Chain A
Amino acid sequence: MSGMAPPPPPRGRHLTARDALVVAVIVVFLLVIMAGRSVRHAGKEMSSGWERTLVLAVGEPAGWLADRLPLQSLVADVTKPLRSGDDLSSGPGGFDSTAAATATGAAPVTPDAFDPAALGARPAAPRPLKTVLVTGDSMSMPLDAEVARRLAGGSIKTLRDPHVGTGLSITGIVDWGKLSVNQVKNKTPDAIVVFIGANEGFPLKYAGRQVSCCGPAWAAAYATRARTLMNTYRQSGAARVYWLLLPGPRDPDRQKISKAVNLADTVAAQPYRAQVRLLDMAAIFTPGFRYRDAMSVDGQDTIVRRTDGIHLNDAGSSIAADEVLKALRADYGDQVGG
């Protein structure tokens, strides 16, 4: 063989393969005793498949060991100052507490369950619109930037708070129950735009048992979580919530999940129709829930989805932003520019 040879090995001290394995074993051991619970938790939050099995095969015994040692808590205390973002490790609103609350008998229907406009009544004036929060999982990007751009320069401040890789049925990265409480407390938004649902389908607890996606029990458990968020965001009726339903995804398995999520969101919003607006992205992007990459925009065929067949691309997000601004204007009038 002629020409280019393998690159020269790095200079400096070389050890043996045994040393490499010693390093790996020590690192694994230290991480197990100091972060074993995180491995177990991460495994439990993963969708079913070989990766989950693999992570849990390590995570279960690692978590068991870490439970019996004080090191993980110690490490958490030591590294606390390094943590960035909102600390949601404690605080109210977590989904666990929501799941524990069960109603008995028929829940009373309140006037909040009706959109006054639909009944020809005059809607109660919301709090003046000073701050719009656009939040959700990766679905909310780049919608958040598009909304912010449209509202830039006016008197309305736009806050963007996307949490990629999160979902209502997965609490490993973010517990949206706690996060929503935190967002309302720290950002005091007057209008909240929510676009979430790209990472759903994880098993949920309903009536004390684990249920898989996407039957009625799962949808009920999901709707309970969505309703918790909607209730937090509407701030006892003072704020308005713009909840975007999912456009149909390309993958048939994901379609099943998205349909269940949309149905659950619709049911979840029922008690709060006076404040929660559902913006049906499926009707715009995937009529009949039939997936399409492109649609006619201003008379021109335009690709509106990203290559993953889940998210909206820039053109799609621009259309979604149109809908959001239209809904904001319906509630707040012409002060909403864009």
Chain B
Amino acid sequence: MVFPTIEFAVFFPPVLALSWALMSRPRIWKPFILAMSYVFYAAANPRFCLLLGGVTLANQAGAALVQRAGDERRKTLVTATVVTLDLVGLGIFKYYGFFAQDIDRVLSSVGLGLGLPLTTIALPVGLSFFTFQAISYIVDVRRGLCERGSTIDVALYLSFFPHLVAGPIVRAREFLPQLATPRDPKDVAVGSGVFLICLGLVKKVVLADLIARQLVDPVYAVPEAYGGPDVLLALYGYAAQIYCDFSGYTDIAIGLALLMGFVFPRNFDRPYSAKSFREFWRRWHMTLSRYLRDFLYIPLGGNKGGRVKTIRNLMITMVLGGLWHGAAWGFVLWGFVHGAALAVERVIRGRISAPAWVRWLIVFHVVVLAWVLFRAPDFSTAGTVLERLFSGGPATLFDPVVVIAVVLSIGLQLLPERPIVALRHRLEAANPVALAAALTVTIIVVGSTVPGGAVPPFIYFQF
């Protein structure tokens, strides 16, 4: 089930009403919300629910064994086993086809063909997200940062429908405490929730899909057919599209959770205003960044072992972070470029100084260029896009509406935050009738901009 659809519009209001009606009785509320989350997930494919349930039970059993284990070695062994199982599951579903074919080709080329079964496996929606959350749970239990939750609490943590399919990646120690006591019905951030839902709908359906349809998709499909001006605009366009698409989704997810009384961590904070790559990664997909920091970069040694090891750790973290996005070499290279940029930045820090606007210009354009590797279906297309960037030709895609959409999506991030936040608080403080009217108008306006009534899937669903 996708948020901006009629199915979800029919599903959510009764769930919200029943959720608050049952909230004071956790013994009924928890099974109810768990069941609704599984219903939400079953809409994609009921069989995937078995995988979600299996991941939940395996990690909960692991957490129980960790807690019961007498010595540290045994705790570590259990944790490592469960994390390995999680990663094997993720690997089979997400990466098997990709690696099997490439390994098969490499081995065949040196006369060592193994005859690996070349098969594709349906990727369960949200697998990367709930697997990462499951790993965070058992590792945090092992580290003593989080107590083992009850099985139903852990099941709810992993399956809670607002964050189930595309995040944000909520940590167990952020979510489980919110299940400890019923949410306070007298303290609900309704205005913020409604505002975020409206904002997310506009970002996704109006801005991201418009930019994709009219600018990015045509150029990336046949870059040979476009000259430098169109390709340049498409590069900026994709930067705007992916931001609006993904941050739009998480805005809706966070807004829905707020209406239900739950608070999720922020996932985006004006990423294109960053003046360093480090800052960019603190503002872009923030829940993934801190996850990779806590569960990969720091365990690898972080910045403790000298410059070379720090660079190595950065590169490993970013390359694996790239691979997390999907089974394609483009993602790996995209991660490599960001890792290299972070490494270079670390090496030259304190040695070279540049005005803030120059730093912003460099960071923004490296990020925009790196997106080419992320968006292009293969290296050949990426190469053609970059080649065409420096060619002449007419600007055939400069539609004023699309240009305004791109400029707004990126430009608004560069404005000072304080007045925007103040304006937002004023809007959020409206009474329920005004909030309802705003949401209705947004839904109708957004719905009328969808050609043919179909909203394309969110980019991050495939991850």
Known: A28-B13, A82-B448. A17 touches B261 (CB 8 A): yes
Task: For the complex formed, measure the closest distance between the CB of A234 and the CB atoms of chain B, giving whole angstroms.
Answer: 24
In the bound complex, residues from chain A placing their C-beta under 8 Å from that of B189 are 9-10, 12, 14-15
Is B447 an interface position by the 8 A CB rule? yes
| Inter-chain contact A84/B210, CB cutoff 8 Å | yes
Is B186 an interface position by the 8 A CB rule? yes
Most buried by B among A5, A6, A20: A20
| Inter-chain contact B188/A7, CB cutoff 8 Å | no
| Inter-chain contact B173/A4, CB cutoff 8 Å | yes
| Inter-chain contact A13/B225, CB cutoff 8 Å | no
Interface of B is mostly: helix
- Chain B residue with Cβ nearest A43: B6
Task: Specify which of B7, B122, B435, B456 is in contact with A308 (CB 8 Å cutoff).
Answer: B122
Q: Which of B208-254 contact A (CB under 8 A)?
A: 210, 213, 218, 221-222, 224-225
| Inter-chain contact B17/A142, CB cutoff 8 Å | no
Is A54 an interface position by the 8 A CB rule? yes
Interface size class on chain B is: 35 or more
Task: Specify which of B171, B425, B433, B448 is in contact with A26 (CB 8 Å cutoff).
Answer: B433
Is A284 an interface position by the 8 A CB rule? no
Q: Which of B47-63 contact A (CB under 8 A)?
A: none
In the bound complex, residues from chain A placing their C-beta under 8 Å from that of B344 are none
Task: For the complex formed, measure the closest distance between the CB of B37 and the CB atoms of chain A, giving whole angstroms.
Answer: 15
Task: For the complex formed, measure the closest distance between the CB of B207 and the CB atoms of chain A, giving whole angstroms.
Answer: 13
Count how many chain A residues have C-beta atoms less than 8 Å from C-beta atoms of the other chain. 78
Is A334 an interface position by the 8 A CB rule? no
Is B11 an interface position by the 8 A CB rule? yes
In the bound complex, residues from chain A placing their C-beta under 8 Å from that of B140 are 3
Is A303 an interface position by the 8 A CB rule? yes
Is B417 an interface position by the 8 A CB rule? no
Task: Specify which of A14, A24, A27 is in contact with B187 (CB 8 Å cutoff).
Answer: A14
Is B123 an interface position by the 8 A CB rule? yes
| Cα separation A148 to B171 with both chains bound (whole Å) | 45
| Cα separation A54 to B11 with both chains bound (whole Å) | 8
Of the stretches A105-113, A162-170, A217-225, A252-260, the one at the interface is: A162-170
In the bound complex, residues from chain B placing their C-beta under 8 Å from that of A302 are 101, 118
In the bound complex, residues from chain B placing their C-beta under 8 Å from that of A38 are 6, 447, 453
| Inter-chain contact B432/A22, CB cutoff 8 Å | yes
Is B69 an interface position by the 8 A CB rule? no
| Inter-chain contact B440/A26, CB cutoff 8 Å | yes
| Cα separation A8 to B120 with both chains bound (whole Å) | 42
- Chain A residue with Cβ nearest B377: A314
| Inter-chain contact A174/B452, CB cutoff 8 Å | yes
Is B279 an interface position by the 8 A CB rule? no
Task: Specify which of B123, B440, B445 is in contact with A307 (CB 8 Å cutoff).
Answer: B123
Most buried by B among A3, A38, A172: A3
In the bound complex, residues from chain B placing their C-beta under 8 Å from that of A85 are 451-452
Of the stretches A115-123, A293-301, A324-332, the one at the interface is: A293-301
Known: A153-B224, A300-B105, A303-B118. 10 other contacts (CB 8 A): A9-B189, A15-B189, A15-B432, A19-B188, A20-B259, A24-B16, A30-B436, A51-B7, A54-B7, A305-B120
Q: Which residues of A contact B (CB under 8 A)?
A: 1-28, 30-31, 34-35, 38-39, 42-43, 46, 51, 54-55, 58-59, 75, 79-80, 82-86, 142, 144-145, 148-149, 152-153, 158, 160, 163-166, 172-174, 293-294, 300-303, 305-309, 314
12 A-B contacts, Cβ less than 8 Å apart?
A: A3-B140, A9-B263, A20-B193, A23-B432, A24-B436, A27-B443, A39-B9, A51-B7, A82-B449, A152-B224, A293-B119, A314-B377
